[in-house]
Amino acid sequence: MPQAAPDLDVEQSQNAGATRNGAGIGPVSQIREEEVVLVLRATQEADGGYLVYSLVESAPSDGGKPFGLSVVHTPELPKDASVLKDLFFDQDDIPPAHLRRPREVHVVVSTRSGLRLAPDFYEDVLSPLLKTIGLEPTETDGSGYRVTVTKSSNTVRDFSRELGKDDKAGEKTVILLSGDGGVVDLLNGLDHASSPSHTPSPPTIALLPLGTGNALFHSLHKPHYSAPAPTPSPLVLGLRTLLNGTPSPLPTFKASFSPGAKLISAPVDHPDQHAATSGKDHEKETPVAHLVGAIVASYGFHASLVWESDTPAYRVHGDKRFGMAAAELLKVAHGYDATVEVRRRSGAAAGELTPLHPSRHGGDGGGGAAGEGKFNYVLATLVSNLEKTFSISPAGRPLDGRLRLVHFGDVGGDRTMEIMMAAYREGEHVGMQEVGYEEVEEVKVAIAEEDARWRKVCVDGSIVEVERGGWMKVQREDGERVKVLVG
């Protein structure tokens, strides 16, 4: 039975250095609309009124915990507070259908995602919030939710393989406290559990953005970021979507690789290792024939950056690690030797792409001069943003299911940097003359590099190294593998 009364003590509500009170009567002025995640009727309070739950966040520099759940008991809601009214749930409506029995709810806490805040977020925010709507963790029966805390890089995949074998996977909701890696692991664990005689029914996932880039989350919530200020934070939006969202099919693609391709992952426990080019002695390799993705498949600068920024020493810098590793990579300014074929519509013939390169070819955007058939950037994506403000594919709309290709030739390190910076300005790079941008059905990159350093491709943050002369083929999919909550 859901509890209307908050179960938060003052300490919890004062995490994040919040000065606002716990469950006492609080003036409406204490409520900041952009922080509110849930409003309930205060049925257990003698004088009625409302309980307003907010996520209070503070900068890490403020000391203490970076977030906490605060609750204010207010006699009435402000008349003009339409947001609060939208976040109001009647007792009969909690938990919402996607979190209510007979659905089985799982919470996955990815301990190494982003700045490693997922465990604290679970303890200090999610768990008390779920308790408020009548959900508690359990290990024994189906009445509560199950918690999986990652212990290794295989935990989410293992969890998802089990999920995929379950005929009732479609009746489960998985709350993921992770970055994009959690999503790709879940998709591929499910894929692994499928066979000619068994296709897992699509579970529903809810994303709480605790990774570094959180590309899928930011792309799904992009329309909210353009609302008039003050806009809710990503974590506030994540909690609102968790409670109020609608499950919708998540578009996916399949990336297939040439024989001999291997999935490689960096060591996570050697903080002394930092040089981007120093090699990764302890990297793990697993043969791979294909991966399922929902975000991005790339070759060139993007894939190299994801790989070379993934060291323990860079990871502690959060999303700044990309900028730091980029600076190193741009000094090298490698031109990637590859041919790229695209099929623009299903059934149409594939055509070869020419690396766009106006500065060395008279400004006409054409290429083809001897020795210049190289690429800096080949990236196919189903989303608009790879980070909150990095709009790699500005035409993308949440869940539009369109695969778009961004590419340019060997334009040199400085110009690559300028193009990337333009992507931070609402995706202005797609208007630059050396940048190609188009919708495709399929793209195949055949890599001619000798050095393994330049034979890495990226699928949703996972890195695959192909053999000499190897390739990656990316195809948009029509089926439905998971549903995702969208707000």
Instruction: Give contact residues for ligand ATP (rule: CB under 6 A).
Output: 110-114, 150-153, 156, 178-182, 185, 211-214, 268, 461
**Residue 387: helix, strand or coil by DSSP?**
strand
How is residue 210 written in tokens? 């605790």
Give me the least distance between CB of 302 and ligand ATP, in Å please. Answer: 12
The residue (of 234 and 470) whose beta carbon lies closer to ligand ATP is 234
Give me the least distance between CB of 383 and ligand ATP, in Å please. Answer: 12
The residue (of 31 and 303) whose beta carbon lies closer to ligand ATP is 303
Q: Which residue is nearest to ligand ATP (CB)?
A: 179
The residue (of 83 and 486) whose beta carbon lies closer to ligand ATP is 486
Give me the least distance between CB of 265 and ligand ATP, in Å please. Answer: 7
The residue (of 410 and 465) whose beta carbon lies closer to ligand ATP is 465
Give me the least distance between CB of 268 and ligand ATP, in Å please. Answer: 5
* CA proximity to 66, closest of 21, 119, 23, 26: 119
Give me the least distance between CB of 185 and ligand ATP, in Å please. Answer: 6
DSSP string, 286-322: EE-SEEEESSEEEEEHHHHHHHHT-SHHHHTTTTHHH
The residue (of 185 and 434) whose beta carbon lies closer to ligand ATP is 185
Give me the least distance between CB of 115 and ligand ATP, in Å please. Answer: 8
- Measured CA to CA in angstroms, residue 14 lies from 32, 124, 404 at distances of 15, 10, 45
CA 293, 298, 299, 305 dihedral sign is negative
The residue (of 204 and 214) whose beta carbon lies closer to ligand ATP is 214
**Distance (Å, rounded) from C-alpha 413 to C-alpha 93?**
55
440: left (phi over 0), alpha (psi -120 to 50) or beta: beta
Give me the least distance between CB of 337 and ligand ATP, in Å please. Answer: 28
**Distance (Å, rounded) from C-alpha 266 to C-alpha 145?**
32
How is residue 91 written in tokens? 């007792």
259: left (phi over 0), alpha (psi -120 to 50) or beta: beta
* CA proximity to 177, closest of 237, 107, 115: 107
Give me the least distance between CB of 269 and ligand ATP, in Å please. Answer: 8
The residue (of 186 and 446) whose beta carbon lies closer to ligand ATP is 186
- 1: burial class by Cβ within 10 Å (0-12, 13-18, 19+)? exposed
How is residue 431 written in tokens? 């208007």
The residue (of 125 and 463) whose beta carbon lies closer to ligand ATP is 463
CA 424, 428, 430, 433 dihedral sign is negative
